[in-house]
Structure 1
Amino acid sequence: MKQLKLTTELNVTPSEWKINHQSNIVTIGSCFADVLGSQLLDNKFPVLNNPFGTVFNPLAIAKLLDLSLDGKPPHAALYHQNTDGIWLHHDFHSSLWSASRVDLEEKLIEKQKQVNQFLRNADVLVITFGTAFAYRHRATNVLVGNCHKVPSDKFVKELLHLDQVIIGLEHLLFKLQSIKRDLRIILTVSPVRHTKDTLPLNQVSKSTLRLVCHRLSEKFKQVDYFPAYEIMVDELRDYRFYKPDLIHPNSVAEEHIFRTFGEAFIDKPALDFMKDWEGIQKMLNHHAQHGFTPSHLALLHTLHGRLSDLADQVDLSDELIEINRRIREFPVNS
């Protein structure tokens, strides 16, 4: 009898180049950029994870990177003080805020400097696009990254045109290429559905983003596409892979997408490390059920040995300090 297939598997072609634990990685974009960056950080890769906070539309992402690379300050007319007296900026996520405009400006400029410096030494930039819908600030007539719950009549919502997005991103890619010729760029479309746009328009938005990624990956040899969106909607075509909001992928889906990402872009020694590291993390999080027993002390010494064996590959100084602390605090007569 022919085996019944219950899912359509997506075959992702491995890239010709690979990420390792010496690769400096920047992630930027939607909340999926946060997820991927956190997964890489958890596996000890050097990552600057979504430094500007969540940014959904591609032109807002391009603007932030462009300003950072040029050393230009944030748009002066886009600062906003909310009803609680908190200062925000319409190009940045609400996690970047201050009690005064001056302090916020200093914070944003410092963040831009950090991104500038990291990008100049980066090996990989991962950009995740969330939506092709954007908001235009009426008073300045510029597209912004965040409305910060300001009344909707202060903005105009618009669907970005394909050519409009491609031109903006091409400008950014040429600039990145001039600064760091060997920088590899991975584009993704977020698997998170923007249902507030309605499902039909969400599909229009995602289709626009997908075509942008396709065109750019065709034109620029340093650009690759990772099909996070396709994995979610085709391979994981079932609501059991979503969180209760039926919008965001759950942890099972996130782990599967990350595993597929690793198989495509991470080299074999790093993948082998990740397998060992998964087991070590379980041991690190283990709590002795029966207190200070000889078997638990033996486990700590085993863990110390495994960490020491891997310490020449990545920085595990914090974990070794913690295990040494646990061993030192172990009662002598246990």
Structure 2
Amino acid sequence: MKLQTEIPLKPEEDHIDYSSKIVLLGSCFSENIGAKFDWFKFQNLQNPFGIIFNPVSIENLIARAIANENFSEKDIFEHNGIWKCFETHSELASLDKAEFLQKLNNALLELRNWLYSATHIIFTFGTSWVYREIKENEIVANCHKLPQKNFKKELLSIEAISKSLQTIFDKISAINPKATIINTVSPVRHIKDGFVENSLSKAHLLSALHETTHQLSTKNHQLKYFPSYEIMMDELRDYRFYSEDMLHPNKTAVEIIWQKFSKVWIASETEALQKEIASIQNGLKHKPFNPESAEHFQFLETLQKKTNLVQEKFPHIKF
């Protein structure tokens, strides 16, 4: 008896290998998968502006990066002595104005360079709910704990999301037509919006993604969809796959989704190297009982030899 439904998956053609350059943008699930790319030392850039949940804010950053439109003083504000920007996550905030602008523009240049050279761009969209800053009438990526009265909450329509997605895909295709774009919907439920409201939000994202992908498939866009949301909701529906908040996938769930992603998107030829890198990574985390023992020095020498062999073949890999 089979006690679990399973999402049918098949390997894609444009595989990720150790020559690939991967950009990950979107919700916190981007960072879950990005952490796996980091661990196995794939070349990747993760959320240079922090976690961004909604497609309009992701569109704004993509457009700004491609247009090379630097952040200026009009794009930032001070709140409780800290400089912030409505287009980015609070993790970039700074006490120094000049330092903050420099940080934003460095991240912008980094994103621009990666968008031009990426082989794979992975978007994880989290929610259709957005907050509009009333004074400027602009959708923000983060409210930065400003008073609620400063914002109006609204649900993006399927049409509005489709329009943002089309802009994102068209702009990337114009500068990097060979890049494969992998879209997914975050399996993290935004229950603070409400249970029904969360379902509606995810439905809008899914409808817009599939509609836009279908419409643009005739325009030579390399658009793909990976069902991380569906895997979590159907295959991993048991609460043993959730963290303590009962909303986020736990370590086991992330590992399962990563394995499924790997089967679809990561070249099988990389498996031996991934195992070797994992061995090195675990070795680097090892804490000896006696750091001065001959056994430990022998262990370090063997580990260094393994590291050197990997770096000789792939100079971009750093431990």
Shift in Å at residue 25 of structure 1?
A: 1.0
In the alignment, is the contact (CA less than 8 A) between 1:134 and 1:159 conserved in 2? yes
Partner of 2:236: 236
Q: 1:275 to 1:6 in 2, by over 3 A?
A: farther
Q: 2:177 aligns with which of 169, 175, 181?
A: 181
Unaligned runs of 5+ in 2: none
Pairing of 1:88-103 with structure 2 (within 5 A): 88-103=84-99
* Distance (whole Å) between structure 2 residues aligned to residue 300 and residue 268 of structure 1: 29
Q: 1:207 aligns with which of 203, 208, 219?
A: 203
Q: Write the mapping of 1:111-260 to structure 2, written as runs, cut at 5 A.
A: 111-218=107-214, 219-220=216-217, 221-260=221-260
Partner of 1:65: 62
Q: Give the TM-score, by structure 2 length.
A: 0.92
Structure 1 residues 221-230 or 58-67, which shifts more? 221-230
TM-score, L = length of structure 1: 0.88
CA offset at residue 316 of structure 1? 7.7
CA offset at residue 76 of structure 1?
Answer: 5.7
Structure 1 segments of 4+ aligned residues over 6 angstroms from their partners:
none
CA contact 2:165–2:209 (8 Å) conserved in 1: no
Check the 8 A contact 1:51/1:111 in 2, yes or no: yes
Separation (CA, whole Å) in 1 of partners of 2:75 and 2:301: 56
SS at match of 1:95: helix
What SS does the corresponding residue of 2:224 show, helix, strand or coil? strand
Mark the CA change 1:142 to 1:291 in structure 2 (over 3 Å): closer, same or farther. closer
Contact 1:60 1:145 (C-alpha < 8 Å) held by counterparts: yes
Task: Point out the more displaced range, 67-76 or 13-22.
Answer: 67-76
User: Which SS does the other structure have where 1:311 is aligned?
Assistant: helix
1:105-129 deviation line (CA, Å, top 9, x unaligned): 3322222122111211111111110
Amino acid at match of 1:97: A
Contact 1:44 1:314 in 2 (8 A): no
Q: How large is the Cα RMSD of the aligned pairs? A: 1.9
The yes-or-no answer on 1:104 pairing with 2:100 is: yes
Q: Equivalent residue for 2:77?
A: 80
Contact 2:122 2:183 in 1 (8 A): yes
8 Å CA contact retained: 1:32, 1:190: yes
- How many residues are aligned here? 315
Q: Percent identity?
A: 35
* Residue segments in structure 1 that go unaligned for 5+ positions in a row: 320-334
Q: Distance in 2 between matches of 1:318 and 1:110?
A: 22
Residue 33 (structure 1) shift: 1.1
> Which residue number corresponds to residue 269 of structure 1?
269
CA deviation digits over 1:298-328, x for unaligned, max 9? 4334333333433344348754xxxxxxxxx
Higher RCO, 1 vs 2 (CA within 8 Å, ≥6 residues apart): 2
Partner of 1:53: 50
Distance 1:201 1:116 in 2: 34
